[in-house]
C-alpha cells in the first residue's frame, strides 16, 4: 500500500486538485493522510466533502487530522505517525501527481529493493497552467553524491521512500520555514541502503501567487536554514561507504563559495559557520575551490569584489541561466511574470514571482 501525506493550511480553493490527482492513480490501494495545520478557511469542509464523494474503503481511504498551527514540518511529522503503507509519498496540497506515478514507483520498489527513489517533475504556472520548467531524474549518478555536488534538486514531490527508511530517518525540522524539504531528503538519502532515480517526469509542482518564499531565501534567516542543510549533509558523509572524493571536494568548494557570499551579504557569523564546515572536510581543493577559500579568508571586501566581478563575467559570457514565463491574468489586471535564474556560484535555482 502507498501512503500519501498531505500537509495543508488554508488551501480550500485548491486542495481538491491534489486529492483528485491521487484518485486518478492507476495504483491501488492508496491511503491518504491529510494533516490540516490549523486552517481557518473551509479546508476541512472541502476535504470532508471530497472524502464522502470519492473514498471507497480499502482501495482508496482518506483520514483527516487537524492540529493547531505548528508549521509544515510539524504537519508532515504528524502524518508520518499516522501512515500504515509500505511506501510513503509526500505531497504538498497545491501540487499534483501524474496518474502513473505510484504504480511506476511501486513497480520499481518491488523489482529493485530500493528504499529511496527520486523522479523527474515539472513546474506549472498557477495562473494559466502552462508548464514552464521540466527537471528529469538522473539515474546514472549516485544520488547522495549529486547532493554533495549541489545537483540533486531535492524536494518533497520528487522522492518516494519505503516506510522502513522513513522510520529510521531524522524527522522533519519543525523550526525551518524554507529548505526543510532539502534537509529532510538529505537525511533520508544518507541512511538509505539503496537509492536510485528515474528519469521519468511523474509529478507537477505549482508555482505562482507571491514571492514570499523566494524573498525568505535571500534573508539572513533563509541563509541560516540553507547552512543547516549543508551541516546535515556534511554530518551524513560518515554514514555512507565509498563516497567519491571528487564529490566531497566539490562540496567543500561549494561551502567556501557560500561562506564568502555570506560575508559579502554582511553575515559574518554565517560565513564563519560555512568556512568552518568546509575546513572540517579536510580535502584537497581544485583551482576553483582554492580561489573561493582565498576570497573567504580575505574577508568581506574581497567577497564583494569577487561577487561583482563574477556577475559581470557571467553576463558577458552568457553563463547565467535565466528564463521568464509570462501569462495573461484576467486580461485586465496585467501579467504575472515568473523569472527563473540560477546563480553563478550557487547550486540552487532562485525564483521570484512578480505581478505587473
**219 belongs to a structural domain:** no
> Does some domain include residue 190?
yes
Same domain, 85 and 206: yes
The answer to whether residue 264 sits within a structural domain is yes
- Give mean pLDDT, residues 174-187: 94
Cell 582565498: give the residue: 294
Residue 72 CA from chain centroid, whole number:
13
Residue 146, domain CATH: 3.90.550.10
The whole-number pLDDT of residue 255 equals 98
The verdict on 132 and 54 lying in the same domain is yes
Question: Quick one: pLDDT at residue 207?
Answer: 86
Query: Mean pLDDT, the chain, as a whole number?
Result: 89
Q: Give residue 106's domain range.
A: 2-210
- Residue 95 in any domain: the answer is yes
High-pLDDT (> 70) share of the chain, %:
87
Give the orientation angle of helix 268-281 with respect to helix 245-264, to 10 degrees: 160
Q: Within 13 Å of residue 1, how many CA atoms lie on the same side as its CB?
A: 14
**How much of the chain exceeds pLDDT 90, in percent?**
77
Residue 331 lies in a domain: yes
* Residue 214 vs residues 107, 159, 262, 263: alpha-carbon distances, Å: 36, 22, 17, 20
- Confidence check: pLDDT of 293 > 80: yes
Distance (Å, whole) CA 256 – CA 271: 9
Residues 156, 181 contacting (CB under 8 angstroms) = yes
* pLDDT classification of 337: cutoffs 50, 70, 90: very low
> Do 307 and 341 fall within a single domain?
no
H runs (alpha helix) in the chain: 15-23, 43-54, 72-82, 101-112, 143-149, 163-168, 180-191, 212-217, 220-236, 245-264, 268-281, 287-298, 300-317
Domain stop point among 210, 226, 253: 210
Residues 326 and 312 both lie in one domain: no
Taking the C-alpha atoms of residue 207 and residue 79, their distance in angstroms, rounded to an integer, is: 24
287 and 327, same domain (yes or no): no
Give 296's pLDDT tier (boundaries 50, 70, 90). Answer: very high
Q: Are residues 162 and 287 in the same domain?
A: no
306, 261 Cβ separation under 8 angstroms: no
* Cα(134)–Cα(200) distance, integer angstroms: 11
Residue 346's pLDDT band (boundaries 50, 70, 90)? very low
Q: Domain for residue 227, yes or no?
A: no
Instruction: Give the pLDDT band of residue 217 (cuts 50, 70, 90).
Output: confident
Contact predicate 325/338, CB 8 Å: yes
Nearest by Cα to 236 from 322, 333, 139, 147: 147
| pLDDT at residue 341, rounded to an integer | 38
Higher pLDDT, 94 or 210: 94
- Same domain assignment for residues 198 and 55: yes
> Are residues 349 and 306 part of one domain?
no
Mark whether 50 and 106 lie in a shared domain.
Answer: yes
Are 41 and 109 contained in the same domain? yes
The whole-model pTM stands at 0.88
Q: How many domains does the chain have?
A: 3
Q: How far apart are CA 106 and CA 284, in angstroms?
A: 41
Q: Which of 165, 187, 210 is the last residue of a domain?
A: 210
Other beta carbons within 10 angstroms of residue 181's beta carbon come to 23
CB neighbours of 127 closer than 8 A, spacing ≥ 6?
Answer: 208, 327, 328, 329, 336
Which of the two residues, 122 and 326, has the higher pLDDT score? Answer: 122
| Cα separation, 187 vs 349, whole angstroms | 21
Cα angle, residue 254 at apex, residues 221 and 156 outer, rounded to 5°: 60
CA–CA separation, 163 vs 200, rounded Å?
22
Q: What is the mean pLDDT of residues 96-120?
A: 98
231 within domain boundaries: no
Q: Give yes or no: residues 205 and 311 share one domain.
A: no
- Give residue 214's pLDDT: 61
Residue 33 and residue 119 share a domain: yes
Answer whether 163's CB lies under 8 Å from 90's CB. Answer: no
Is 234 within the bounds of a domain?
no
Amino acid at each position: 500500500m502507498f501512503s500519501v501525506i498531505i500537509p495543508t493550511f488554508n488551501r480550500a480553493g485548491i486542495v481538491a486538485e491534489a486529492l483528485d490527482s491521487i484518485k486518478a492513480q492507476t495504483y491501488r490501494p492508496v491511503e491518504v493522510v491529510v494533516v490540516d495545520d490549523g486552517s481557518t478557511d473551509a479546508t476541512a469542509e472541502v476535504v470532508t466533502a471530497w472524502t464522502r464523494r470519492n473514498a471507497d474503503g480499502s482501495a482508496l481511504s482518506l483520514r483527516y487530522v487537524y492540529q493547531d498551527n505548528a508549521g509544515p514540518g510539524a504537519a508532515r511529522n504528524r502524518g508520518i505517525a499516522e501512515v500504515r503503507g509500505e511506501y510513503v509519498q509526500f505531497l504538498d496540497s497545491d501540487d499534483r501527481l501524474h496518474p502513473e506515478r505510484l504504480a511506476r514507483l511501486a513497480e520499481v520498489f518491488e523489482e529493485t529493493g530500493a528504499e529511496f527513489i527520486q523522479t523527474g517533475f515539472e513546474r506549472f504556472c498557477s495562473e494559466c497552467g502552462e508548464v514552464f520548467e521540466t527537471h528529469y531524474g538522473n539515474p546514472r549518478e549516485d544520488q547522495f553524491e549529486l547532493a554533495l555536488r549541489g545537483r540533486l534538486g531535492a524536494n518533497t514531490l520528487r522522492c518516494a521512500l519505503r516506510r522502513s527508511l522513513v522510520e529510521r530517518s531524522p524527522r522533519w525540522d519543525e523550526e525551518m520555514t524554507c529548505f526543510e524539504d532539502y534537509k529532510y531528503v538529505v537525511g533520508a538519502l544518507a541512511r538509505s541502503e539503496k537509492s536510485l532515480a528515474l528519469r521519468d517526469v511523474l509529478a507537477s509542482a505549482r508555482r505562482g501567487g507571491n514571492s514570499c518564499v523566494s524573498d525568505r531565501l535571500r534573508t539572513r534567516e533563509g541563509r541560516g536554514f540553507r547552512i543547516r542543510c549543508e551541516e546535515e549533509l556534511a554530518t551524513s558523509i560518515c554514514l555512507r561507504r565509498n563516497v567519491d572524493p571528487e564529490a566531497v571536494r566539490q562540496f567543500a568548494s561549494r561551502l567556501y563559495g557560500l561562506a564568502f557570499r555570506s560575508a559579502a551579504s554582511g553575515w559574518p557569523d554565517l560565513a564563519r559557520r560555512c568556512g568552518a564546515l568546509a575546513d572540517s572536510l579536510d580535502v584537497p581543493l581544485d583551482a576553483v575551490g582554492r580561489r573561493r577559500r582565498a576570497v573567504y579568508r580575505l574577508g568581506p571586501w574581497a567577497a564583494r569584489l569577487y561577487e561583482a566581478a563574477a556577475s559581470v563575467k557571467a553576463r558577458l559570457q552568457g553563463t547565467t541561466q535565466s528564463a521568464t514565463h509570462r501569462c495573461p491574468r484576467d486580461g485586465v489586471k496585467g501579467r504575472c511574470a515568473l523569472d527563473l535564474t540560477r546563480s553563478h556560484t550557487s547550486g540552487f535555482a532562485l525564483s521570484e514571482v512578480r505581478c505587473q
